[in-house]
Amino acid sequence: MVTQPNIIVVRFAELSTKGKNRKQFITMLRQNIQEVCKGFPSCKVQQAYDRIYVLVNDENASELMNRLQDVFGIATLSLAYQVPLAINDIIDAAFTLIQKEPVSTFKVITRRMNKQFPLESDEINRAVAKKILQETDFVVDVHKPQVKVLVEIRHHEAYVTVNTIEGAKGYPVKIQGKAMLLMSGGIDSCVASYLSNKRGIEVEAIHFASPPYTSDAAKQKVLDLAKVLTRYQPFIRLHIVPFTDIQMQIAMNVPESYRITVMRRFMVRLAQRLAEQRRCKALITGESVGQVASQTLESMSVINEVTTMPILRPLVSFDKTEIIEIAKKIGTYDISIRPFEDCCTIFTPVAPVTKPLLHKAQRFESKLDIETLIEESLAATEVVMIRYNDAKEEDSFF
């Protein structure tokens, strides 16, 4: 009799996709799960028709479960005992598992795919329930049980599980190709990245740094945030684009109220160039309508004018409180609120225009040598690869 749950059952999300897409979906999900499992060397990933199984082996099962909860494309996950096809083993496994739960109500549900198994589903239910009723204080509730004991009779083995937890849902990351995220280091852009991942988009990030007006700590903050985001996609390519010269030029040549608008137009131009180089199909921003002056519909349209690439705005209709809630859930909030200046906050005018006009923006920009500025910035761009499983010097402290 095994004493530790030894297998994780992964069930797929969004299986409304069919045919060839379905196959692609499952292959991508399996690859993503395998990538996560690299951090757990002894575990093995197995694919069945409608499930993926992760054999825990010598790994820490709850850590592995935690990691898999961050993988998009998974509907639900259960930590299960894989036991031989014998009723006594099934009963023992169910009994061991339920004792770890707080005493409440339960129900046994059996799926008997293997019709050769001598007992019928209902007989299995009764046999398992009998032992639990006799030896614990659990009571049966078939309508609203607190704990569901699931028994799956398959062809070569049976699976027994008690707690089914929710997966991250959505599509496997990468299935929709890549997009370029404008990442400030604030709360919103990280949430935008997470939500894009959720729909299967792989994210590359671009960050605008304005040294010496922004500090190394501000850059570190972005690196730390990207590190957190690698929980949801295995690695992130972060482009750090120097922005000081452009900002100085804007500050010298553009009236104060239009500086933000023009600055945002430059950011989008730079992002588009990089996106094209990196074969990204869209840009992503953390904008939410009306949140600040540059995020009114008028501003968006003036800023949007510089690119033909679609700009995805996953947060467009979210309230700030909703965004903060997600940021806390995904683990970026505490880093995002570290109080460092980013390039947007330093040159913030007292009264930015909320309804900029395109022709005015264009007229102000005509004083600048846009092409040269962009070329120079891109030439000095630094690329950092951030991986979830990076080995670091500090690992030896732990």
216 binds another protein (CB under 8 A): yes
* Angstrom distance (rounded) from CA 30 to CA 53: 10
212 binds another protein (CB under 8 A): no
Q: How far is CA 385 from CA 120, 179, 217, 226, 240, in A?
A: 54, 16, 18, 9, 11
Measured from the Cβ of residue 395, the count of other Cβ atoms closer than 10 Å reads: 8
Identity (one letter) of the amino acid at 32?
A: N
Handedness of CA 192, 193, 199, 203 (dihedral sign): positive
102 binds another protein (CB under 8 A): yes
* Stretch near another protein under the rule CB under 8 A, chosen from 38-46, 348-356, 370-378, 390-398: 390-398
* Stretch near another protein under the rule CB under 8 A, chosen from 187-195, 214-222, 305-313, 363-371: 214-222
Query: For another protein, what does the binding mask look like between residues 170 and 209, x meaning CB under 8 A?
Result: ----------------------------------------
* Angstrom distance (rounded) from CA 54 to CA 73: 15
Contact, 356 vs 258, CB < 8 A?
Answer: yes
49 binds another protein (CB under 8 A): no
User: Of 102 and 118, which CB lies nearer to another protein in the complex structure?
Assistant: 102
111 binds another protein (CB under 8 A): no
Contact, 44 vs 58, CB < 8 A?
Answer: no
User: Of 50 and 395, which CB lies nearer to another protein in the complex structure?
Assistant: 395
3 binds another protein (CB under 8 A): no
Candidates 23, 329, 338, 363: give the one binding another protein (CB under 8 A).
338
42 binds another protein (CB under 8 A): no
Strand partners, 67: none
Report helix angle 297-304 to 259-277, nearest 10: 50
User: Of 115 and 392, which CB lies nearer to another protein in the complex structure?
Assistant: 392
Q: How far is the CB of 217 from another protein (least distance, A)?
A: 6
Name the token pair of 239: 């482009």
* Angstrom distance (rounded) from CA 52 to CA 31: 11
Candidates 224, 287, 342, 365: give the one binding another protein (CB under 8 A).
224
User: Of 19 and 102, which CB lies nearer to another protein in the complex structure?
Assistant: 102
Query: For another protein, what does the binding mask look like between residues 129 and 148, x meaning CB under 8 A?
Result: --------x-----------
Q: How far is the CB of 216 from another protein (least distance, A)?
A: 6
62 binds another protein (CB under 8 A): yes
User: Of 17 and 220, which CB lies nearer to another protein in the complex structure?
Assistant: 220
Beta strand extents in the chain (DSSP E only): 7-12, 44-47, 51-55, 74-83, 105-112, 139-140, 147-153, 158-166, 178-182, 202-209, 235-242, 283-284, 311-312, 382-387
Contact, 68 vs 7, CB < 8 A?
Answer: no
Q: How far is the CB of 148 from another protein (least distance, A)?
A: 19
Look at residue 267 and give its three-state secondary structure: helix
397 binds another protein (CB under 8 A): yes
Could you list the residues that contact another protein (CB under 8 A)?
60, 62-63, 100, 102-103, 137, 216-217, 220-221, 224, 338-340, 394, 396-398
